[in-house]
Structure 1
Amino acid sequence: MELTEHARVVYPNLKYYGVIFRRFIKEFHLGNFMQCGGNYKKVADRMNKISNYYTLLMVPIIWLGVILFNLSPLLTNVTSGAFQNPRPKNITLRFSVYYEYPGFKPEENFILVTILNLYFSYGCTVVVCTLDLLLILMCFQIVGHQLVLQANLDGFPKPRKLSVLQLTGEVKVMVEKYSIEENTHIHCMLRENVLHHRYIVCFVDDISSFFGPMMGLVYFFDVTGFCLLFLECSQLNTESLARFGPLTIIAVSQLIEISIIFEIVGSMSEKLRDNVYNLPWQCMDMKNQMTVLIFLNRIQRTMHITCMEVMPVGVQSMASILKTCFSYFTILQSMNT
């Protein structure tokens, strides 16, 4: 677990992290497209509300994680009489975090070390949750761009007039066809949507390439750590549940939270295929129909945030990790018995 937390702490110090963060704030964020009006403003207001509510929700989650992490050793020390003066001998003191401090021993400065551990655990929780929150807010903005693209594709106009198509002899058919001026306007709309889709894909690829190694470390901890946490909790005694239960709940909740939000990004991109196919391509000229065909071919690729460009981060990967952890847990439990 410490390896994944160190990775989260190191990442903001990397040069490319600042590049992605500035690009997200100054370019990709929907707030930069508010002047475009229409679908951009409507979706931007919606995503801002969701981001605001989610950020506010993270505040009690941070405090809940800190309290649960420090409550178990604190209660154990209280029940054992660690706060009595004089303190009974032969008492094993519990700490939420075990550090070696230069110049004094933690057992001899119990109250000071407990306060320091509370501060350290709070700082670590804030750093981890803030970095995860930033990544999730990026996903919200990606979904917002996908919603804008979806609305723009659904907003293609129909031909204003019906055209007469001469078949054979005196057989004539009334068909919907764009005029030359309309085809020119439709071509501009298609070009804007193709460029918008490519813009979203490039940003998703940048996030995947940069955050992929971190997600790989997180998944590595999940596979190796969950089975050990499950094994400790399987003892079903008060001490093990109080000590490892909160950590297990927090770790599993974090995996579920990130996986579901990342899955939404992939599922929204898959819906865009139907929006492109439902374009009035039969009313366009040959040039615009070829553009739609190329666009439809490009949009078949799902926008997944991948783990080291190998495994997509989503519900299926979450299910695979939990299934693997339960398998390892079963093996370790059988060996323990």
Structure 2
Amino acid sequence: MVRLFSYPFGIWPGNMLDEKMPNFVKYFLKHGPIQAVIVFCGEINYLVRRHKEVDFFTIGDVCITSCLTVLTFARVILPNFKSYGIIWQKFFKTFHLRNFKNNGYNYKNICLKMDTVSHYFTVLMIICTMIGMVLFNLSPICNNVVNGAYTKRRDENTTLRFSVLYEYPGFKPEDHFIITTILNFYFSYACTICICAIDLMLVLMVFQIIGHIEVLRRNLDDFPLPRDVIIFDIESNNRRLEISFESFNARENDLIHNHLKDSVNHHRFIVNFVSEMSSVFGPMMGINYLYQLVGCCLLLLECSQLDTQALARFGPLTLISVAQLVEISVIFEVVGSMSEKLIDNVYSLPWQYMNMKNQRTMFIFFSNVQRTMHVTCMGVTPIGVQSMAAILKTSFSYFTFLRSMDTQ
């Protein structure tokens, strides 16, 4: 499903997975960023030429689509970088839990759970995304149909509405409304796929990180205890005392050493992948947070008209944008909270029964798990609930300010 959803615009890294890419996918990979720049220039030109003619909410409408165009550019240019294909190749061929299904019950069990969660999340996100995209275009089309825009009896004074507003020298959308409507549907579809497909794939990637952390925690809980009990007889002040002492024997210490080594390597494997993920997707997530900061307040401003058409068009987009921010922040936050739980799992290991060599390894392992795993924006801001709350708070403040400007 993810492949079919993301393939048309080159988001799916087929070239790094030994798949033959169709020519139209290669074409969009090369020219997709150029298309985004052309659309953005048309939107800015529309604002410059008509900012005195259109109302306050129309300006907000153009600003929203301009922000979406910038966000689309940030997403569509990413697959052209070699690092994008490399990390997805590593994810599918090395990191995904399906590559570890034969390594034990914990891997197999968690893999099945993560696959189930990923399946339902994918279905839900694709359905909501498509509904939002259709409603975004449906409202202007219905308005034009009611006004007779697509009939021969169309009045020249009929007000036409478009989902994306742009203008170029020699090209006005009102003069080519059928072509503009078709182009707008294509632009909306491309924007939806480029933004939501990468977000979907990122969330699925995070699910696998969470799965690996859960497997590591279960493996740590399954560490064996010593089987032998050593009893010391001590005589003191004419009294005989028996002191029992549990300890791993030499064979058990070798087994524990192998378990520790596997756990340390597994933890390092997860940390390295999270670090690579931050380096590749960090700048894109930073731009995404910037869009959420600006876009959410503008979308709230458009919905504040309480007009049927405005609510039908911007309501679903607002809900999807806020839901996207919440779901990504919450799911990414789970990575940090799960990694913090690793501290208790490591400390609960029977380190007091180990020999000195294994206790040194334990000390290093315990020091490593103290650092919380976080996917960050450009290595600075962790993607999580605190960042989400700050963005929503600031967006509501800007919305209140813009709303007061309109009432004045």
Task: Tell me the TM-score range normalised by the shorter chain.
Answer: over 0.9
Greater Cα offset, 20-29 or 96-105:
96-105
Alignment of 1:256-275 (within 5 A): 256-275=326-345
Distance 2:363 2:233 in 1: 26
Distance 2:166 2:399 in 1: 29
Which residue is 1:188 aligned to?
258
Structure 2 residue aligned with 1:284, among 354, 357, 382? Answer: 354
Greater Cα offset, 38-47 or 161-170:
161-170
1:9 Cα shift? 0.5
Which residue is 1:223 aligned to?
293
Contact 2:133 2:189 in 1 (8 A): yes
Structure 1 residue aligned with 2:198, among 131, 145, 168? Answer: 131
1:209 Cα shift? 1.3
- Residue 27 (1) aligns with residue 89 (2): no
Deviations 1:223-277 (A, max 9, x none): 1222222223223233433343232222111111111111111111111111111
Contact 2:71 2:195 in 1 (8 A): no
Alignment of 1:191-202 (within 5 A): 191-202=261-272
Distance 1:321 1:306 in 2: 15
Shift in alpha-carbon separation, 1:330–1:120, aligned structure 2, 3 A: closer
Which residue is 1:5 aligned to?
72
Aligned-partner residue type, residue 210 of structure 1: V
DSSP 3-state at the match of 1:304: coil
Shift in alpha-carbon separation, 1:84–1:213, aligned structure 2, 3 A: same
Which residue is 1:49 aligned to?
116
Aligned-partner residue type, residue 119 of structure 1: Y
- Residue 314 (1) aligns with residue 384 (2): yes
Distance 1:9 1:104 in 2: 26
Distance 2:163 2:178 in 1: 12
Alignment of 1:1-337 (within 5 A): 1=67, 2-100=69-167, 105-165=172-232, 169=236, 170-337=240-407
Distance 1:59 1:18 in 2: 23
Aligned-partner residue type, residue 364 of structure 2: I
DSSP 3-state at the match of 1:85: coil
Q: In the comparison of the two structures, how many residue pairs are matched?
A: 337
1:119 Cα shift? 2.8
Distance 2:265 2:374 in 1: 19
Greater Cα offset, 111-120 or 205-214:
111-120
TM-score w.r.t. length of structure 1:
0.93
TM-score w.r.t. length of structure 2:
0.78
DSSP 3-state at the match of 2:370: coil
Aligned-partner residue type, residue 214 of structure 1: M
Distance 1:165 1:133 in 2: 61
Q: Which runs of 4+ in 1 moved over 4 A?
A: 99-105, 165-168
Distance 2:386 2:379 in 1: 16
Contact 2:342 2:369 in 1 (8 A): yes
